[in-house]
Amino acid sequence: MRSARVRAEASRDAGRAALERARSYVGHLVGEGRAPAGADDHDVLVRSPIDGVVVGRDAAPGTVVLVGAPLVTVSRLGTLVLRIPVPERALAAATVGAPVRFEVPAWPGRAFDARVTRVSPTVDSLSRTVEVLASVDARGAALRAEMYASAELQGGGGARVLAVPAEVVQAMEGDTVVVAARRAGARGAALALEAVRVRVGRRTSAQAEILGGLAAGTPVVVRGAAVAKAELLKRRGG
């Protein structure tokens, strides 16, 4: 008798749990509040758990939907996530909370801000990059999901580094170089060009960090750097 009672009570508890799950599921589907005007009594009202905009519909009217299959895709309005593939050598700057400044082609010259929320624990074996996620306040009409962006991970700050404009750094006969310029000739009236091999660290679309090979204060060719490199190659070949 005792074992039968225990089994009955266990069956009762399981039934109550199943009933609670069913009620929660129905509540999730139907939600609270009135149904939209004109809704049929046989329709099932599916409510999104977040506020947003429907950006995709996977299910068409009349199709059979399997359990777990997506019906619609909803994009959250207030916040977007910026995905940044950070080179392995620049990983030290990728910390949670670090500021990010980025631009999008739709708004040239306008900068937006974000904050790093997650740094992937693994490095991509092919690209040697680490995925960094940053939270973006997308309130307003400027930013859209799936936009391409040019981002600059600003890091924690505080450390002084030697940097040059990104277009100065060039590949030359298997080396990474910058073209340095120094005064030569009588009274320094002429310029002597020299390809200086450098070691580059972190890079953005605008600047490149120099870890070695170039002394601070050395004049380098910025405008016409490619022309200066071509002239050096011509002299070497001639």
Q: Is 111 helix (H, G, I), strand (E, B) or coil?
A: coil
3-class secondary structure, 225:
helix
pLDDT at residue 117 is higher than 60: yes
Architecture of domain 163-237: Beta Barrel (2.40)
The confidence score (pLDDT) of residue 68 equals 81
Which stretch of 37-46, 185-194, 225-234 has the lowest confidence by average pLDDT?
Answer: 185-194
The closest alpha carbon to 71, from 61, 80, 81, belongs to 61
The b-or-e profile of 170-206 (16+ CB within 10 A means b, else e) is: bebeeebbbbbeeeeeeeeeeeeeebbebebbbbbee
Query: How much is the pLDDT for 37?
Result: 74
Overall pTM surpassing 0.85 (yes/no): no
Q: Is the pLDDT of residue 54 over 80?
A: yes
Per-residue confidence band for 119, with pLDDT thresholds at 50, 70 and 90? very high
Predicted confidence at residue 134, as pLDDT, reads 93
Q: Which of 127-131, 155-159, 228-232 has the lowest mean pLDDT?
A: 155-159
Cα separation, 134 vs 116, in Å, equals: 4
Q: What average pLDDT does this structure show over 20-29?
A: 76
Fold of the CATH domain 79-153: Elongation Factor Tu (Ef-tu); domain 3 (2.40.30)
Give 25-50 pLDDT, tens digit per residue: 777 666 666 666 777 766 767 777 77
pLDDT at 1: 67
Q: Which is more confidently placed, 95 or 39?
A: 95
pLDDT digits (tens, 9 = 90+) for 198-217: 988 877 777 888 888 888 88
Q: What pLDDT does 132 receive?
A: 93
Same topology between domain 79-153 and domain 163-237: no
Q: Higher-confidence residue: 52 or 167?
A: 167
Measured distance CA(196)–CA(213) in Å, rounded? 7
> What single-letter amino acid sits at 132?
V
Lowest mean pLDDT among 9-23, 36-50, 68-82, 113-127: 36-50
Does residue 158 carry a pLDDT above 60?
A: no
pLDDT at position 163: 87
With contact defined as beta carbons under 8 Å apart, do 203 and 151 qualify? no
Residues 6+ apart with CB under 8 A from 172: 195, 229, 232, 233
Domain limits, the chain: 1-36+43-49, 79-153, 163-237
